[in-house]
Every structure is written in structure tokens, then in C-alpha cells.
Amino acid sequence: MNVAIIGLGLMGGSLAKSLKKLDFIKEIVGSDHNPKHQKEALELSLVDKIVDINEVKKYDVIFLAIPVDGIITALQNLVGVKESATIIDLGSTKAKIIASVPHPIRKNFVAAHPMTGTENFGPSAAVDNLYDDKVVVLCDIENSGEHQIEVAKRIFKALHMKKHFMPAHQHDRHAAFISHMPHAIAYSLANTVMHQENKHNILALAAGGFRSMSRLAKSSAFMWEDIFRQNKTNLLEAIELFENELNTLKEHIKNDEWDKVHKNIEAGNRLHKILD
């Protein structure tokens, strides 16, 4: 099958690298609104050539690896794809994207969210094996065509991904807690430190803990503004619940309730018994 990837940054570029290793993929082309990204993608041999949106419609599989607002716009422009085409989005939100799919191409569309990535962006951020052994969440696939579901499953299986299925509204709430809120915290942490410390102190004193917690603050402002906007309600709930937890710990510290501080820390320790 021939594949077109719209968006040649971290996710799209890394996807291209992985797809090139699959024997059933014949050609990989790319589309990106940024001329610099087009040039870099060709120089890095991520794709065979650059095509425009009208050419994209001719391909068997079309991946949308762009910010979530851009996915909604791109879907409007994909009306007219061939009946057998499979359109797969890789967005971090699902409900609003699915609701925006034009009816004539709903059967062509498969909503997916690969739970992977780094804080870097652009074609030069593309890495080998980004998708290997990672989870991909597929949402509301009962509304996708049988052929399109099989194509998506075949590709994700070949990429060695672990498939999970859930309704879009459930995905968006879970993602708010697991992904979107941590990014909001990372940006706020970075801004708090920047407003209090000069760059020399930051460089001198920032050790592993701060670097690990603030790493997400490197992520693209364009991409995350869109995600925060689309998942606003769930994100606000997650932030408010986090604020409650932080305020509880703050009060224990303020009141010298060190037994309660200890118990709070131990309760947090339990997370890594699940993750590890």
C-alpha cells in the first residue's frame, strides 16, 4: 500500500522511519505547510517526495500527524478520497476530532492516539522505533469501515504497538490526567522558576529532579495550545483536582503535621508500584 503523511515533525517523521521498514509499504510521501519542514524531511529521507493536499487524496493510507486543530481542518479537505482509503489521525484529543469528520468520509476515518512522543519537534526530532512497544488507543471504531479498521490494525501490529479500544469521551478524560495536566504543570513550573531565579542560578542548581519535571516544558506551544483548547473541560477538572491535592500537602506542611506529610508522600509512592 502507498502512504501519505500530513505533518512531518516528530510523530510524522518517526512514523515514516518505521513504515519504511515494512515490506507491504510501497511508497511514503509527505505533506507539510512549513517549507523548512518539507526541505528537512527530504534531506533526511523521511519521505520519497512532497505532495499537496489534492495528491494526498490518491493514496491508500493517509496519516494526520499535525496539531489537533489542524486535523479538523485537514479532514474537511479530504472529502473526495477514494472509497477504499484509510485516514488515521494521531491526535492527542479524540471527541472533537471525531465529531468534526465530514459524513462522506466517516467510514474512511480511524481515530487513533499513539501514547508516545518526546518533548522535541520538527523533522530533525524524528527517531527510530518511537512507536515500538507503545500503546495506541483506538476510539469509536464501530463507526469506521471494516476495511479501514483492518488496515489500521495491520499497520499498528506491524509497528509492534499494543492496541487499546475505548470511547472518545473516556479517552479525553483519561488523557487529561495522564498527559495534558502534566504538560500544564510543567509549563507552570518552568514559569515559576523563571520568574524567581536568574538563568545563572538555574543552570548552576537545576539537578535531575527539576530537569525531569520541567522536560515537558520544551514541547511545542502551537501543539499544546490546541490540545488544551479542545480538551478544556477535562483539563480544568484535572487541574482543579491537582490543586486540591497540592493544597492539602501545603496545609500539612504549614501546620507542621509531619505524620500527615509522610503519609501523603507514601500514598504518592504507590503510583510507581503500578507503573514499575
CA-CA distances (angstroms) from residue 273 to 27, 108, 135, 208?
44, 40, 19, 21
Question: What pLDDT digit, counting tens, does each position of 26-51 carry?
Answer: 999 999 989 999 999 999 999 999 99
Whether pLDDT at 20 is above 90: yes
Nearest to 68 by CA among 237, 185, 232: 232
Largest CA distance in the chain: 67
Share of the chain above pLDDT 90, in %: 76
CA count, 13 A, side-chain hemisphere, 185: 17
Residue that the C-alpha cell 489542524 belongs to: 70
* Average pLDDT, integer, range 11-15: 94
Does the 2-166 domain belong in CATH 3.40.50.620? no
181-196 and 232-254 helices, crossing angle to 10°: 50
Contacts of residue 221, Cβ cutoff 8 Å, sequence gap at least 6: none
Cell of 95: 471527541
The Cα 21–Cα 17 span in angstroms is 7
Query: Which CATH code for domain 171-275?
Result: 1.10.3660.10
Whether pLDDT at 213 is above 90: no
| Residue ranges per structural domain of the chain | 2-166, 171-275
Report helix, strand or coil for 236. Answer: helix
Cell of 104: 462522506
CA count, 13 A, side-chain hemisphere, 6: 28
Across the beta sheet with 61-64, the strand order is: 49-50, 27-31, 2-6, 61-64, 86-89, 109-114, 135-139, 162-166
Question: What pLDDT digit, counting tens, does each position of 81-114 carry?
Answer: 999 999 999 999 999 999 999 999 999 999 999 9
* Average pLDDT, integer, range 48-76: 94
Confidence of residue 54 (pLDDT cuts 50, 70, 90): confident
Mean of pLDDT over the chain: 93
* Average pLDDT, integer, range 125-149: 95
**Among 11-25, 121-135, 159-173, 191-205, the least confident range:** 191-205
Q: Do domains 2-166 and 171-275 have the same CATH topology?
A: no
**Residue pair 72/96 in contact by the 8 Å Cβ criterion:** yes
The Cα 140–Cα 166 span in angstroms is 7
Q: Name the H helices within 46-111.
A: 53-56, 68-77, 95-100
**Residue pair 10/121 in contact by the 8 Å Cβ criterion:** yes
CA count, 13 A, side-chain hemisphere, 247: 6
Cell of 147: 476495511
**DSSP state for residue 47 in the 8-state scheme:** S
Whether pLDDT at 133 is above 80: yes
Nearest to 142 by CA among 171, 166, 169: 166
Question: What pLDDT digit, counting tens, does each position of 163-209 carry?
Answer: 999 999 999 999 999 999 999 999 999 898 888 877 777 777 776 77
More confident residue, 219 or 22: 22
Contacts of residue 246, Cβ cutoff 8 Å, sequence gap at least 6: none
What is 165-200 written as a DSSP string? Answer: EE-HHHHHHHHIIIIIHHHHHHHHHHHHHHHHS-HH
The pLDDT score that the predictor gives to residue 199 is 75
The pLDDT score that the predictor gives to residue 206 is 73
